[in-house]
Amino acid sequence: MGATGSQLSKESLSEYQELTFLTKQEILLAHRRFTELQAKADRNIQSHRVPMNTILTLPELKSNPFRKRICRVFSTSEANDGSLSFDDFLDLLSAFSDSATLEIKSHYAFRIFDFDDDGTLDNRDLEKLVNCLTGETDETKLTDDEMKQLINNILEESDIDKDGTVNLSEFQHVISRSPDFVSSFKIVL
């Protein structure tokens, strides 16, 4: 993929449509929003990437507890800074679109929840996941015993090979039994 000028060519638009789950109208809207974010980034140097802190100003991500992790997972930046190119931005929107398959959605959800990027969800990943969902305030944070019990329950339900972690196929198996997952895993511009 690759055009981030002020206009998308018909060829680029067609290519993006073939490579994503987005319609032409959604791609054009995404391009407009990305261009606005580039201008908002307030950079002296014209960049083809938008910094993570600017991406996080999008209302669709602002209140998402995984917003920084989402940017890092979809970013192809060599600096690992969570900045997004237009292609990265489209990949993010495509994965979260209503048209994306369960396999794509679960793959990216797994990557977002795999905080240490080791290919498994272990106790530390699951604890971070729970803390993101419940918040880490004194009122919402689970006690150590509650957290341990919840993680044990998650592993009991999900860890098919009983190795103490959840791998991608185990995660996808659990997600396949959760009909609400697809409808809740979306971002609409």
- Please give the domain boundaries of the chain with CATH numbers for all domains: 10-95 (1.10.238.10), 102-184 (1.10.238.10)
pLDDT tens-digit readout, 100-137: 999 999 999 999 999 999 999 999 999 999 999 998 88
CB atoms within 10 A of CB 130: 17
Question: Rounded to whole angstroms, how far apart are CA atoms 188 and 180?
Answer: 17
CA distances from 67 to 6, 46, 54, 178, 184 (A): 27, 25, 12, 22, 15
Coil, strand or helix at 83: coil
Distances (CA, A) of 127 to 6, 69, 89, 130, 133: 43, 15, 28, 5, 10
d(C-alpha 32, C-alpha 42), whole Å: 17
Structure tokens at 76: 């192809």
Tokens encoding 38: 């580039």
- Whether 187 contacts 109, CB under 8 Å: no
DSSP at 29: H
Contact predicate 160/171, CB 8 Å: no
Euclidean distance between CA atoms 168 and 80, whole angstroms = 23
Bridge partners (DSSP) listed for residue 50: 84
**C-alpha distances out from residue 32 to 24, 37, 78, 89, 187, Å:** 12, 9, 25, 12, 16
Residues 38-96 pLDDT 10s: 988 865 455 789 999 999 999 999 999 999 999 999 999 999 999 999 999 999 999 99
Name which of 106, 47, 7 is nearest 55 in CA terms: 47
Q: CA-to-CA distance for 155 and 126, rounded, in angstroms?
A: 9
* pLDDT grade for 4, boundaries at 50, 70 and 90: very low
Indicate the pLDDT class of residue 138, thresholds 50, 70 and 90. confident
